[in-house]
Structure 1
């Protein structure tokens, strides 16, 4: 068994709502407006026709720099995708679930068969899913001049799709592409899916049966279990007792066409069967999803981009993340060390949040610290509506 352990699979403690007035949805919206107020462009005209709360936010709301958004799986649940640690999350309902480790994928042909078979079945759900109102609201906050950058832990590419104008750092990569472990060329996931279907006609027929039965039309875990399936995040579907060892996957087409050189001279051996499936006699050309697998390091350039985004902002708002992964938690820790106001909008607890909010001053109305437990798809669009009203007036 791998030494690595998935962190924080048990439910985290419920949060302390900050400020206390944010325990209701209306109070949470008012507090979030207060938190975002310093990022608002300075108003050029008096605010006279909007709510008293917006007027209060506008007074003295000097432009101290834009807000950075850090998002997690919770923001994509409304798009029909599973999360990890929510009430219906994989770690909550499936205690035996363990993601594939990076070293397993790189070193084990059978592990890759199992991974790609499950991904083949689950990809359709992810491919059909679309950004929801919360993703689009993030983009509108960018247009309004409030948000300057998004860092997302998600690999669904919904943020770039929803707001191409707003810079997005995909901290953990993305599922829309494959990357060759040898030559580092990328390959579109949709084309890869078609190749998997050609290599595995029996599996393709099974997938068609599941689609026809509606088994993949729901993320409800009870309904999927009735159909013999277990759905996990990131386009992964487990079918108990499935013959994973029969599954075949393509080799990198670039490496097949031009075998890469060996470090010590010569070229790597590259072999595929008549259909283009990777052969075990090959010395490279293994395609991997362009995501950061468990146990894999985030590329240095991505780390730097995320850290610079924190340093360039003046406050950070976490949306839909429990911060269970260190790569995300350390960014909020960096913001704390820089004495930046921290806000968290997440249903359920977040890792280490008590330390982030340990020094909240009495009388804080949300501007210096914010912790609310609300549905992002409901709250963020309402924030956008209110800010647009302010801008019009």
Structure 2
């Protein structure tokens, strides 16, 4: 495999955070700080709504791997690197390897469900405290858990594939059936792995004992597996009617006797509908994310180290607008000092919060506490926004997701 042309950022352990306020080291202290965060009106003239930015750490409680957490892939699997966009698009063998590993991991990913943290976000929305969610996650848990809160999937989603030529989308589950048909021995291997429970364990040592490397986003590595034998189907639309190149000639789309994509095909390659490493986020998604930040008065960051620039720049945008920022993450965050450098040390959470508590413990407890305070009138939130009158309800109305 060729040496990658781009460095994966922040694979080493980030510095431990400074807890803000100092009283927020415990769960109760963190709850008190976040109560103040939601209760205090944002600086004028910012609106009262809060936008949430989430990452892989939020889905760990659903049994999914993350990248930089305590048991994250970059810590326990030092040889792992995600596939690069140019590598996927240009290299038939790289696609075989990717789709073989994704074929093995898809069943576990599909079985996984939103966890208490996702449903707590739904409940915060029902209380009128959350206007929109921006997520880096590709597991589709947010739209499942809170369909009434606008969700922008910044890096796409694994629930479908898309053609790199004609951009047509297809359900990922249908694609999985095609992979099984084209690769019967791999299908048998998957069934054996499922029957043995090898894909169900969350224990890193148990995975290692079974010879597995389970990585984020439905990637499962069986060492020494014959990836070169794996086959994948083409885009049906491009196969039926090969598109015309810019030069005026038709692309070539060929298949073997079973219907698998083969060289010298030049079009009809299906990829997961996610933003791969080295691939650009589309302009309309970028604009929608920026608009969500600009339409809110606070930013709540959950379960992410903000290592990817696409997410970090949104937090920086919020900071530049003067928005109070709360970060809940196990472990350090990229450049987090920049978000809190000018925070008054005497503030109690109304302007900034940084806590290191698991989201699946903190968020449900926060919902319970805020419900009690709202019902008793002890939470002086200015004009909560209910689902039917949410001021930001159309912020993502043009998004396909």
Range of TM-score over shorter length: over 0.9
The secondary structure found in structure 2 opposite 1:77 is: helix
C-alpha separation in 2, matches of 1:96 and 1:312 = 41
After the TM superposition, which of the residue ranges 267-276 and 15-24 deviates more from structure 2?
267-276
Deviation at 1:39, TM superposition (A): 6.3
Q: Does 1:98 pair with 2:100?
A: no
The aligned runs of 1:1-393 (5 Å cut-off) are 1-38=3-40, 64-393=47-376
Deviation at 1:272, TM superposition (A): 1.1
**Per-residue displacement from partner, 1:79-125 (whole Å, max 9, x unpaired)?**
00000011110001111111110000000000000000000001111
Deviation at 1:257, TM superposition (A): 1.6
Q: Which consecutive unaligned segments of at least 5 residues does structure 2 have? A: 377-401
The secondary structure found in structure 1 opposite 2:362 is: helix
C-alpha separation in 2, matches of 1:38 and 1:278 = 58
Q: Report if aligned partners of 2:157, 2:273 keep a CA contact under 8 Å in 1.
A: yes
* Greater relative CO, 1 or 2 (CA 8 Å, sep 6+): 2
Deviation at 1:276, TM superposition (A): 1.7
The secondary structure found in structure 2 opposite 1:334 is: helix
Deviation at 1:167, TM superposition (A): 0.4
Deviation at 1:191, TM superposition (A): 0.6
Q: Report if aligned partners of 2:132, 2:151 keep a CA contact under 8 Å in 1.
A: yes
C-alpha separation in 2, matches of 1:391 and 1:172 = 35
Q: Report if aligned partners of 1:21, 1:28 keep a CA contact under 8 Å in 2.
A: yes
C-alpha separation in 2, matches of 1:235 and 1:69 = 24
C-alpha separation in 2, matches of 1:280 and 1:38 = 61
Q: Report if aligned partners of 2:21, 2:345 keep a CA contact under 8 Å in 1.
A: no
Runs of 4+ more than 4 Å apart: none
Report how many aligned residue pairs link the two structures.
374
The secondary structure found in structure 2 opposite 1:147 is: coil
Computed over aligned residues only, the root mean square deviation of the Cα atoms, in angstroms, reads: 1.6
Q: Report if aligned partners of 1:39, 1:67 keep a CA contact under 8 Å in 2.
A: no
C-alpha separation in 2, matches of 1:293 and 1:379 = 31
Q: Report if aligned partners of 2:242, 2:250 keep a CA contact under 8 Å in 1.
A: yes
Q: Report if aligned partners of 1:38, 1:65 keep a CA contact under 8 Å in 2.
A: no
C-alpha separation in 1, matches of 2:163 and 2:345 = 54
C-alpha separation in 1, matches of 2:217 and 2:47 = 37
Q: Report if aligned partners of 1:72, 1:321 keep a CA contact under 8 Å in 2.
A: yes
